Amino acid sequence: MNEDYMKEALKEAKKAYKKLEVPIGAIIVKDGKIIARAHNLREKKQSSLAHAEIIAIKKACEKLESWRLDGADLYVTLEPCAMCAGAITQARINKVYFGAKDEKNGCVGSIANIFDDIPTTHRVKYEYVDNRDCSYILTKFFKELRHIKKM
């Protein structure tokens, strides 16, 4: 785990935060280089697909001109949902690092485990990295959102 990469994913989460999107960021690294970076844009794009991981995978495929992201690692500030975990598997990503657990929707150990429990030919490795900044920005966002809704 390279902490600098998680910091870059966090920078992306901060961009989402400023746009009033749920603050989640992701980056994809291959051969020591960041090949894609993205943040959640579901509300702005009004697309249920616009999670940070999906946008990052789209960009990485475009960059490499290949649907196979073999050897690439994905850093994301929050545990992926089923769609994103499935997309990570489809893209043949090597390893996923996530900075906070998602007890409601996380499908890499919290409510399910797409990587371990679904028998696919490509097996994605993963590591939960307890990064307080990743969870703090989410807590802060939802606290402020509740405050706004009460006004």
Selected from 7, 14, 15, 92, the binder of a second copy by CB under 8 A is: 92
Active site residue 3: no
Kindly state whether residue 101 participates in binding a second copy, applying the rule CB under 8 A.
Answer: no
Strands, sheet with 25-30, edge to edge from the N-terminal-most edge strand: 33-39, 25-30, 73-76, 95-98, 125-128
Q: Using an 8 Å Cβ cutoff, are 71 and 94 in contact? A: yes
Among 7, 11, 15, 42, binds a second copy (CB under 8 A): 42
From the list 101, 88, 96, the residue with the least C-alpha distance to 132 is: 101
Name the catalytic one among 8, 12, 43, 53.
Answer: 53
Binding site for a second copy (CB under 8 A): 42-43, 45-51, 54, 57-58, 61-62, 65-69, 81-87, 89-92, 105, 107, 111-112, 114, 117-120
